[in-house]
Amino acid sequence: MPSVEECRAFFSEYEDAVIFHFVKKFVRPEDRVPWSRELEKELVKLEREVFWAGYQKAFMLFMDECRLCSQCKGSRLACINKDDSRPGPESLAVDVFSTVRSAGYPIEVLCDYNQEMNRYAFLMIK
């Protein structure tokens, strides 16, 4: 993980961010991982489209840890999907709760898988 200072330097390179808000409720908790995996694949495609539109520093922060592979190798060095894997915002020192609340979005700590989730991904743009 990068230091907080390295995270500050990373974010200082960007001018804008797009917040993606996803609302989802699951009947079965085990459905969350496949849902996240499919959504992450779509977010990577969107990041590429923004890149091709002229924003060469477009960078997506997933709403969760990377779930692109069904069996994660557990380290960046061993990753078999390096081109598409992305970090979650918390791994870059982003306080998701404060960030989305300041933008007017709802978020709460959930204590049960039966509760509706408010999940957020961020697309950094320059």
pLDDT in tens, 37-94: 899 999 999 999 999 999 999 999 999 887 777 777 777 778 788 788 888 899 999 9
Q: What is the pLDDT of residue 14?
A: 96
Whole-model pTM?
A: 0.89
What is the C-alpha to C-alpha distance for residues 50 and 41, in angstroms, rounded to an integer? Answer: 15
Question: Each residue of 63-75: pLDDT tens digit?
Answer: 988 777 777 777 7
Domain ranges of the chain: 4-125
Contact in structure between 30 and 11 (CB atoms under 8 Å):
no
Question: Each residue of 5-30: pLDDT tens digit?
Answer: 999 999 999 999 999 999 999 989 88
